[in-house]
Amino acid sequence: MTTESATPAVRATVYGYPRQGQNRELKKAVEGYWKGRVTAEALRDTARALRADAWRQLTADGITEVPTGDFSYYDHVLDTSVMVGAVPARHRSAVTADPLDGYFAMARGTQDVAPLEMTKWFDTNYHYLVPELGPDTVFTADSTKQVTEFGEARALGHTARPVLVGPVTYLLLAKPAPGVADDFEPLTLLDRLLPVYARVLADLKAAGADWVQLDEPALVQDRTPAELNVAARTYRELGALTERPKLLVASYFDRLGEALPVLAKAPVEGLALDFTDRAAANLADLAAVGGLPGKRLVAGVVNGRNVWINDHQKSLATLGTLLGLADRVDVSASCSLLHVPLDAAVERDIDPQVRRWLAFARQKTAEIATLARGLAQGAGAITAELAANRADLASRATSPITRDPAVRARTGAITAADGRRAQPYADRAAAQRAHLALPLLPTTTIGSFPQTDELRVARADLRAGRIDTAGYEERIKGEIREVLSFQEKTGIDVLVHGEPERNDMVQYFAEQLTGYLATQHGWVQSYGTRYVRPPVLAGDISRPEPMTVRWTAYAQEQTTKPVKGMLTGPVTMLAWSFVRDDQPLGETARQVGLALRDEVNDLEAAGTSVIQVDEPALRETLPLRADGHADYLAWATESFRLTTSGVRPETQIHTHMCYAEFGDIVQAIDDLDADVISLEAARSHMQVATELAEHGYPREAGPGVWDIHSPRIPSAAEAAALLRKGLEAIPAERLWVNPDCGLKTRGWAETRASLEHLVEAAREVRAEVGGAA
């Protein structure tokens, strides 16, 4: 067993690691369990093996202290709710009867019981399940998962550090439970929660844990004096415990700011801070508070959120400065490596020289180990690594891949008029009503329809050469006709073609735009078993040829009803990609906006009257601190308007957003100047409709009435009830009826039933408000 005294003078560590396995074994096992094809014991065996493989790989790559507890079947915040006993009343019987099935019921819901609300984890594309708390919440400790996983790592000979979501962040992420007053403050439950954390810490101490990491990323956001006092009291009380491991309080994603002196003075043994560019102020701030004398500092100098190689010389300079500010300095990534793919070395389709610019999780752990060795032994110990790193950085900086003079000339010629519709909304709305002739409370969907096994087989057959392109395209046409036929029979008013030709809403476009690199194995968890392959934005962006016009035009030829053109907006194209870090994001967004503008104009020229430009990432990309909001929202909304402002007044522009706190960006939603916006609203009980009304939002909106991230089928009565609630905030002449999000992850049986209920609800409520049913 590795002991504390035998560990290196400088530890290399990480806060978390990708959970899925090299071939997404976890996804397959969990979904197999849901379908009854995998037993609970087999699922647990797969999970145990994946954890062991991850720790083995980390150790082989030079990590000397591995994290435990970061693994999750679905979501680590949901795991925390289980750990503290915060199970909603509607799920308690299921959790009691079968903890594993009850756990998944909280995440996904059942036909009879709604799941927990889901939203974005800070400014990432990872989704967490929101804790539901109220004045009657009773917390109870269950450290089984944390102790078991720590024990597994220890039994395999690893020096391990359990990782928990910290109590302050947990309460700040929580919301009032259904039926609880909206003004209830979960932070008022701190005195009930801290004894539960004390019990878990004691259990981990008894299991042999030397250190425990408590993640407090919520403290990098703007916090009130009262919230900072809560943080101070929390760590004063936890620090005073006698039966506990040493405490490492971790923050990431931004600077700690006013929370730094609070934590620096707390009676804990260590802090973990982000020292990458977005949190660079932590260095000066740490010096200003006198450093961390007598404490451990884990320095996050390798970017855990992007995929570009580290600048070792810059990191060593930072680490050298930090040596004078703490009792010991260890090296880490800036945050959990959950947010990057597993291994760049397996990306054989990327040019080998370009691949040397990339660092996925395995490459980042090697970078961390190299920096730890350089810090402990001096730069002379890593001379070869430093030289190779300098060469790779220079190769990228001088590569023609990164610069296109024509693109830069076009963005340089943008004028204010390019980002404004030529007519005010009132004139456009009148023209669109006359052109489209839609009923009151028009129905539509968000874009994608179920991606069937037949579609996946067709793609596999095409890749394997079992069918040619013509054969594949005939299958796509057949799928489009089926989707259109179903929508027409169901009575949906504005149709979609279902996107059968698309693999992902970002990757599909990235593969057709210059400047992007696509990966084959670069999977990253978005939520639960939903994984995406974010493309890599390496150079200047342009559109060589139309991307969606052919299939949209084909769909419109099959029907007299309007078919929406479907595009992913510029902010989401950036947010759900690994963006270049060598120029301002706003400049890249303008390039993407102009490329998409060409597509919008071509769709209109081909006869498309309704064009949707999705921006689900607008809120998630909002900087965590208010002082960065204005600049971000200015370029974000400008890039959307660059995309959409070249069309005629009768062409209706839609946008879509989901799973975020929209109240923070209502003015920005207004500034997009879209004619119609559809938003996720079912899990949040139409909260966004109220927020739009309070703002005085003047255009049309479709707050969702079907939570598509749950397998349950809402009844027509449920959808009608939500629709009536929406009408309390938005007048009928401006209200649309739609699901929360696209239907790609749903099956056809639940899609058919749910959309039939949605249309039935629209007809019922339409009759109530005086429109033709």
Catalytic residue positions?
A: 709
Q: Does the CA dihedral 195-196-197-201 come out positive or negative?
A: positive
Backbone angles phi, psi at 599, to 5 degrees: -70, -45
What is the Cα–Cα distance from 381 to 372, expressed in whole angstroms?
A: 11
339 closest CA partner among 186, 176, 127: 127
Looking at residue 430, what DSSP letter applies?
Answer: H
Looking up tokens 């706190």, which residue turns up? Answer: 661
3-state secondary structure of 36: coil
What is the Cα–Cα distance from 183 to 175, expressed in whole angstroms?
A: 10
Would you call 510 exposed, middle or buried from its count of C-beta atoms within 10 A (0-12, 13-18, 19+)?
buried
What is the Cα–Cα distance from 229 to 265, expressed in whole angstroms?
A: 12
Which residues touch 497 (CB under 8 Å, ≥6 apart)?
480, 483, 484, 551, 552, 554, 555, 563, 566
What is the Cα–Cα distance from 14 to 248, expressed in whole angstroms?
A: 13
Secondary structure, 3-state, 601-666: HHHHHCCCCEEEEECCCCCCCCCCCHHHHHHHHHHHHHHHHHHHCCCCCCCEEEEEECCCCHHHHH
How far does CA 325 lie from the centroid of its chain? 34
Looking up tokens 């560990």, which residue turns up? Answer: 7
Element counts in the chain: helices (H) and strands (E): 28, 20
Secondary structure, 3-state, 513-526: CEEEECCCCCCEEE
Q: Quick check: 743 and 450 in contact, CB under 8 A?
A: yes
What is the Cα–Cα distance from 600 to 602, expressed in whole angstroms?
A: 5
744 closest CA partner among 452, 508, 466: 452
- Which conformational region is residue 109 in: left (phi greater than 0), alpha (psi within -120 to 50 degrees), or beta? left
3-state secondary structure of 19: coil
- Which conformational region is residue 65 in: left (phi greater than 0), alpha (psi within -120 to 50 degrees), or beta? beta
722 closest CA partner among 737, 709, 712, 711: 737
Q: Are strands 175-176 and 132-133 parallel, antiparallel or unpaired?
A: parallel
How far does CA 314 lie from the centroid of its chain? 29
What is the Cα–Cα distance from 704 to 723, expressed in whole angstroms?
A: 9
133 closest CA partner among 112, 121, 110, 117: 117
